[in-house]
């Protein structure tokens, strides 16, 4: 594979459904490779669900050999039990990536939505629509978990090599936005 090509796996963790999406970044071009969902029966115990997520993600990783691994951070709502369960799924997913020696990056749901749609408050349907357009997909993913996983991979593709805030330091910000700097020669009058 050329050195300017990266294969990225994005993960939307869940104990009943874990979505994954695989994309390839070549320079500024991004293309869809694969996506799917790892599904667990609600009747399975938590340890069996976690084992299945781990085993299936290892299979996907070994098939595609991604260079980068991106995962959605836990969403903390009023339901602590749900957050805990997502944390378990995140843990085994991250373990699969780390044990395959893939660098792991984490992104908040708002950051992912904003990266893909321009709004951190976008709906899952809006994310799905943008994923299809950005990746040139003719058929929409069957599960929203899959769309979210692809969005996570795209978010990472847009962030590779860039610091989180967009700038390494204040000097980089000032150099990029000189119009926002008030110099001592441009004193404002107070009335």
Q: What secondary structure does DSSP assign to 47-63, as a single string?
A: HHHHHHHHHHHHHHHHH
From residue 92, how far is each of 2, 48, 68, 185 by CA, in Å? Answer: 30, 12, 16, 57
Assigned domain for 35 exists: yes
If you average pLDDT over residues 5-31, what whole number do you get?
A: 96
Q: For the chain, what percent of residues have pLDDT higher than 90?
A: 72
Question: Is the pLDDT reported for residue 100 higher than 70?
Answer: yes
Cβ–Cβ under 8 Å, residues 86 and 11:
no
| Burial class of 129 by CB neighbour count within 10 A (0 to 12, 13 to 18, 19+) | middle
Q: Which residues are catalytic?
A: 12, 72, 145
Integer Cα distance of 71 and 174 in angstroms? 32
Integer Cα distance of 64 and 52 in angstroms? 18
Structural domains counted in the chain: 1
Assigned domain for 191 exists: no
Average pLDDT of the chain to the nearest whole number: 88
- Provide the total of helices (H) and of strands (E) in the chain, helices listed first: 6, 5
Strands 68-72 and 104-107 turn out to be parallel
What pLDDT, in 10s, does the model give residues 54-92?
Answer: 999 999 999 999 999 999 987 666 677 888 889 999 999
Cβ–Cβ under 8 Å, residues 44 and 55:
no
Cβ–Cβ under 8 Å, residues 72 and 148:
yes
Q: Residue 176 — pLDDT band, cuts 50, 70, 90?
A: low
State which residues form the domain around 44: 5-180
Assigned domain for 187 exists: no
Prediction pTM value: 0.82
CATH number at residue 153: 3.30.420.10
What pLDDT, in 10s, does the model give residues 149-158?
Answer: 999 999 999 9
Integer Cα distance of 41 and 66 in angstroms? 28
Which residue has better confidence, 3 or 51?
51
Assigned domain for 185 exists: no
Assigned domain for 31 exists: yes
Model pLDDT, residue 172: 60
């Amino acid at each position: 594979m050329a050195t300017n090509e990266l294969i990225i796996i994005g993960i939307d963790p869940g104990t009943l459904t874990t979505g994954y999406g695989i994309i390839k970044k070549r320079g500024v071009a991004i293309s869809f490779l694969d996506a799917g969902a790892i599904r667990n029966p609600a009747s399975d115990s938590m340890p069996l669900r976690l084992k299945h997520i781990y085993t299936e993600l290892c299979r996907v990783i070994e098939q595609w050999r991604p260079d980068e691994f991106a995962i959605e951070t836990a969403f903390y709502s009023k339901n602590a039990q749900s957050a805990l369960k997502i944390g378990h799924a995140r843990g085994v997913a991250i373990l699969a990536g780390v044990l395959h020696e893939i660098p792991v990056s984490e992104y908040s749901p708002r950051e992912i939505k904003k990266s893909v749609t321009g709004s951190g408050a976008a709906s899952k349907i809006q994310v799905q629509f943008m994923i299809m357009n950005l990746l040139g997909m003719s058929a929409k993913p069957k599960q929203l978990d899959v769309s979210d996983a692809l969005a996570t991979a795209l978010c990472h593709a847009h962030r590779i090599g860039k610091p989180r805030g967009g700038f390494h330091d204040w000097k980089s910000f000032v150099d990029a936005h000189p119009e926002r700097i008030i110099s001592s020669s441009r004193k404002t009058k107070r009335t």
